[in-house]
Amino acid sequence: MMLSTLELAIELISRPSITPHDAGCQSLIANHLQSIGFIVETLRFGEVDNLWVRHGQTEPLLVFAGHTDVVPPGLLKQWQFPPFTPTVHEGLLYGRGAADMKGSLAAMVVAGERFVQAYPDHPGSIGLLLTSDEEGVAINGTVKVIDYLQAKGDRITWCLVGEPSSVNRLGDTIKNGRRGSLNGHLIIQGVQGHVAYPHQADNPIHRFAPLLKTLCETQWDQGNEFFPPTGFQITHLNAGEKVDNVIPGELEVLFNFRYSTEVTHTQLQAVVTRLLEQYQLNSKLTWRHSGLPFLTPAGTLVEVTQQAILEVCSYQATLSTAGGTSDGRFIAPTGAQVIELGPLNATIHKVNECVRVEDLETLATIYQRIIEKLLR
């Protein structure tokens, strides 16, 4: 029996699938789709559950991608309603994952079911790729499923990721790319000592300060028509023992680059390394590259999605590459056209996360219209 978008969203939110746990969300979806002819493959890598579901065997292949895991709810006393007791109140559905991204998952499933029931012998194929490792370290999730699909010879033509892309109203923004993300972990060594005898110590915070000024003032690139200039942010500083009479002996710094296609992560690494040498810091630097930038320019998927939103919502969606990373970064390198379209993102990762109830059904309609335009 097919559930409504709201009913399925409620069922999914009620499962406390805090990353990397799936809590039965994927089996719920798999059962719905398997009953109408979708082929289901469960793929577990490490402690992460992944799901690959497909209807049809030929190309082109349209894939909906998303994640069943959610971030922790935070302080429960700050929630208006319990985060895993989905509650409809004044036209809003409250619960952890309502917007990011169980509402999208429900809309995807309902859109796929409706399309297959209306067009059981459709050309091409519809796929659904789900992971429970998007909000975490993203090691055993989508990236592993993509490796598996490529080894099988399955080639994705178009991919729609259900991340909450909308800003002011549903469908007003389509993400057609994302910036790259590069993380640095820097340890600067000094010499601990008494604050009254600074000549007997070497303060790593003072040593780092001129370099910090340079890093914050550097213009890494100019950006381009699709991406803003590359940004640098310090995310963590830690030194000392929280006392006022000891010069610390070590400073730990975490920082991040969100970078455009005008620069590579290796170029950014080279500049930082050169600056460390220039300022003669006794340091150790390690890097973690968490995603290449990607861009899907105007083409079939972008145009079809804009048409579907215009037909359903009566306004034009804008294209954007702003925001954080998504699992689209693992799919785009295969050559697929990748976009992101989902609910409003105003409450994601916050207490009282919610989505408009009417937006859930509208989103399912938009998704269905996209499928029809590509595969009917």
- Compute how many other C-beta atoms are within 10 angstroms of the C-beta atom of residue 95: 28
What are the tokens at 182? Answer: 């590069």
Annotated binding site for Zn(2+): 67, 100, 135, 163, 349
d(CA 61, CA 126): 6
Contact 351, 78 (CB under 8 A): yes
Tell which residue, 116, 120, 75, 103, has the closest CA to residue 10. Answer: 103
- Compute how many other C-beta atoms are within 10 angstroms of the C-beta atom of residue 309: 24
Amino acid at 142: T
DSSP, residue by residue, 108-146: HHHHHHHHHHH-TT-SSEEEEEEES-TTTT-SSSHHHHH
Amino acid at 211: L
The residues carrying an active-site annotation are 69, 134
* Strand order across the beta sheet in which 125-131 lies: 39-45, 48-55, 125-131, 61-67, 158-161, 337-340, 173-175, 318-320
Cα 330 to Cα 67, 120, 177: the distances in Å are 13, 30, 12
Tell which residue, 299, 365, 13, has the closest CA to residue 159. Answer: 299
d(CA 350, CA 329): 24
CA-based end-to-end distance of the chain: 24
Torsion of CA 13, 18, 24, 26, to 10 degrees: 80
Annotated binding site: 67, 100, 135, 163, 349
Contact 308, 373 (CB under 8 A): yes
